[in-house]
Structure 1
Amino acid sequence: MRFMKQDFVMMVLGIVVYVADVGADLWVAKTYFCGEQYLWCAIILVTGFISSVVVQFFSYIWFKEDNAEQLNWTLFLLHFLHGGIFTRYWYALKYGYRAAYKSNISGDKLIDGSTSLIHKRAVDAMADISMLRLFKTYLESTPQLILQIYILMTSDIDVRTFSQYFSITVSFTSISCATVDYQIALRKSLPDKNTFSMISSKITYFSYKLLTLTSWILSIALVTVLSINGSIILLGVLWLGGISWVLRQHTSLCKSKAAEVVYRIIVGIILTFTFFNVKGEKTKIILCVYYVIRVLITLAILCACMFCKSLFNGKIYLLSVIAAVVASLVLGIVSLSVYYRFFHPSIYYAQDVVDGRGDERNETCRIRRFLIQ
């Protein structure tokens, strides 16, 4: 475990992005409100609020599990006012600065024979933030992106603006970047098959996530145009499938049963959009099954769109969208195959205790009990 200067810089940028994302949501909601599109405004605000509640909930629960003796009303109040994530960033920046910029720190020690305690704390803090960002991404950014594309597809061509296309493109990229940042934090805690370098595994993994998510979100948006109820039913069925898989894995991220139930619900939502290995076990077969089902559902959606193309009323170039869906899905599967063939870690971990302030030698990062890619 090594926390580098580039990790510290990325963490600072993460704070900026988080604040900008919240501001952008409020700006979009205000735009819809001023345009008397109250339903769209409500969806933006509700998804943002729900994701924030989940993030604050897990942030406080993890503080409670890790530092029960240091909890106070100030920390509870910060989380109640939706400022807990900034507390997380404060601790991460404090540990990260010491690890990245101060080579000789009094009171520091080695654990497991080679890992510096301060580096471990910085990496663990970064990992917790990456998990919380992943929650926010799939609870807020992804539904909002589907909404943006749906609005674009159902609006007249002459009223569309460049900002809509730009916003959608940035959203696709930011969702993929959040997933890659999580993978980087994961690699900090697991031995690697190969180094996660910028020109190889990072780009391959980013391409895999970006392309498969692009194909799937476009497909969901097409279903929504055909039938909003059909889209809700499809996502509901897939969510139930994800929940069933999570329950079979008997996850144990949280010490509290209530928190574990909420965690499993959230993981089911994440699995609705992209694949993650829930317990760090070998899942070659389930991975293949997941994407075979994804391909079959996507083909069914595209066939339905061609059969009911009159419903689009010429507001979108349907053949172009279908071509984009097929191309991104194929290229995404190719990137996935390359990633798992050459870059995926080959060592798997059994479930272990969560990170905390007890015996640092025997603790593992919480991320090893979270979603493993």
Structure 2
Amino acid sequence: MEEGFPFHFAFSDVGVSSLSLIFFLLDVVLDLVAIECLYAEKKYFSLGLLILLLLGSSVVIQIFSWLWYSDPNKTAPETKVETFIKRHGLLGPVHICQLGVFLRYAAVMEISFCRFKQRDVFLKRDTIHMKHDLSMLRLFEAFSENAPQLILMTPLFMQMQEIQFLTVLKIISLSYSLLSYHHHVHAVNPEKLQMGWSSLVLYFLWNFFLIGARVIIVSLFASALPCYFAAHFLSLWTLLIFWAWWQKTDFMESKAGEWLYRATVGLIWYFIWFNVTSGRTRLKAIIYHVVMGSDTMLLLGLWWWWRSVESARLDPLPINPYLLIAVLVTIYITGILLRLLYYWKFHPNKPALQVDEKDLKSHVNLECDAKRYDVVEADSRAIS
């Protein structure tokens, strides 16, 4: 039975899951540090915007968590902590108090402990499903909270040394959220699809370079032309939402939930590519990178033009603007090249995988799970 079950847990899975929890707690600490720094510097307007971003992101994540708990097609067994919460009618209050993610972490810890004691193969499946949900929530949280926060905070790092350190850690957290989600998607596939350490490192690096360059360039443009940035973001975000609609995403049970999902996907796409459909996506990815690469370079060029025109009344930058432009362009191109290298040499695909009868029966049994806990659906929806 153990051999026929297609979930295999390697040391990398434990490491990725542990780091995911560490980055979740680190994000909370970094948010508190950012609030304290802004308050100490008496930047009350930026502080208010930061708190608004944190609250808005938390509300979005709690809505997703609550909708998933309320899914009538969910057939996966509940843990004792989840059963207790539901039995006493506390599911709503828990999410209103912004504790839905903590409830899911408690459920994962409980079922992981039970799996360790009982060594039950089906508990492994339940654990990976719960971790998959958590990794998706962390991904949504990272890009609805950390990415906008970086745009707000990055222009301040030139005056505040603490914010400079915070900016780097936030970009690392963004990149790791994508890695964690991608890893958990592969974890529900046969062993031949597992990501090795080289794949994990390369996947993290190309996301780190692309997200870092994009975030800094957008931040520079936003600090120079905030009104134009607002118009640019709303216009491009709307187009990206409709692109998700055009791809006929079918992830949530309700129409309202599906549009919330598309809006979140559009926000992620504003910074990095994230696949939401099955089938071949190479052409979509190429179109995305051509459009977003051009947009990124356009924003950088507009920022340089504005600096040139307004240089007489602006404070000098701590770094030569030409050097800054060269570094950012180099980082962005390096990210693209690392992505190409990853899919050329390190992507764990299976072009000619031989599936024996035992593996086939395992997949057939797994496809009988509910929609949100269907392994095939989860894989086809979101391999980025």
SS in 1 for 2:98: coil
Q: Distance in 2 between matches of 1:55 and 1:181?
A: 17
Report Cα offsets for 1:73-117 as digits up to 9, x if no partner: 122221111111111011111222333x34x54xx4xxxxxxx31
Structure 1 pair 219/37, CA: closer, same or farther in 2 (3 Å)?
same
Q: Distance in 1 between matches of 2:44 and 2:276?
A: 38
- In structure 1, the residue matched to 2:24 is 18
Which amino acid letter does the alignment assign opposite residue 27 of structure 1? V
Worse overlay, 310-319 or 272-281? 310-319
- In structure 1, the residue matched to 2:300 is 302
Structure 1 pair 93/369, CA: closer, same or farther in 2 (3 Å)?
farther
- In structure 2, the residue matched to 1:368 is 379
Q: Distance in 1 between matches of 2:108 and 2:11?
A: 13
RMSD of Structure 2 on Structure 1 (CA) = 2.5
- Does structure 2 conserve the Cα–Cα contact (< 8 Å) formed by 1:3 and 1:123? no
- In structure 1, the residue matched to 2:347 is 344
Correspondence for 1:27 among 13, 18, 33 = 33
Question: Shift of the alpha carbon at 1:192?
Answer: 7.2
TM-score, normalization by structure 2: 0.82
- Does structure 1 conserve the Cα–Cα contact (< 8 Å) formed by 2:277 and 2:382? yes
Report Cα offsets for 1:153-178 as digits up to 9, x if no partner: 5x4xxxx32x2221111111111111
Is 2:129 aligned against 1:130? no
SS in 2 for 1:254: coil
- Percent identical: 25
Correspondence for 2:113 among 79, 85, 97 = 97
Note the 1:304-319 alignment, pairs <5 A.
Answer: 304-310=302-308, 311=310, 313-317=315-319, 318-319=321-322
- Does structure 2 conserve the Cα–Cα contact (< 8 Å) formed by 1:33 and 1:41? yes
Number of aligned residue pairs: give it. 345
- Does structure 2 conserve the Cα–Cα contact (< 8 Å) formed by 1:134 and 1:178? yes
SS in 2 for 1:273: coil
- In structure 2, the residue matched to 1:329 is 332
Question: Shift of the alpha carbon at 1:182?
Answer: 0.9
Q: Distance in 1 between matches of 2:154 and 2:270?
A: 18
Q: Which runs of 5+ in 1 are unaligned?
A: 109-115, 349-358
Which amino acid letter does the alignment assign opposite residue 330 of structure 1? I
Q: Which runs of 5+ in 2 are unaligned?
A: 1-6, 352-364
- In structure 1, the residue matched to 2:223 is 225
Which amino acid letter does the alignment assign opposite residue 180 of structure 1? L
Is 2:38 aligned against 1:38? no
Report Cα offsets for 1:21-77 as digits up to 9, x if no partner: 223313322332343211111121111111111111111111121269953412222
Correspondence for 2:241 among 234, 240, 243 = 243
Q: Distance in 2 between matches of 1:244 and 1:361?
A: 30
Which amino acid letter does the alignment assign opposite residue 341 of structure 1? W
TM-score, normalization by structure 1: 0.84
SS in 2 for 1:308: helix
Note the 1:122-271 alignment, pairs <5 A.
Answer: 122-153=127-158, 155=159, 160-161=160-161, 163-191=162-190, 195-198=194-197, 200-271=198-269
Note the 1:276-291 alignment, pairs <5 A.
Answer: 276-291=274-289
- In structure 1, the residue matched to 2:59 is 53
- Does structure 2 conserve the Cα–Cα contact (< 8 Å) formed by 1:29 and 1:40? no
Q: Distance in 2 between matches of 1:343 and 1:10?
A: 18
Question: Shift of the alpha carbon at 1:194?
Answer: 5.4
Q: Distance in 1 between matches of 2:15 and 2:307?
A: 48
- In structure 2, the residue matched to 1:112 is none
Which amino acid letter does the alignment assign opposite residue 94 of structure 1? E
Structure 1 pair 67/85, CA: closer, same or farther in 2 (3 Å)?
farther
Structure 1 pair 5/205, CA: closer, same or farther in 2 (3 Å)?
closer
Q: Distance in 2 between matches of 1:369 and 1:261?
A: 19
Question: Shift of the alpha carbon at 1:180?
Answer: 0.6
Correspondence for 2:290 among 289, 292, 295 = 292
Q: Distance in 1 between matches of 2:52 and 2:94?
A: 20
Q: Distance in 2 between matches of 1:361 and 1:277?
A: 21
Q: Distance in 1 between matches of 2:264 and 2:64?
A: 11
SS in 1 for 2:270: helix
Structure 1 pair 205/38, CA: closer, same or farther in 2 (3 Å)?
same
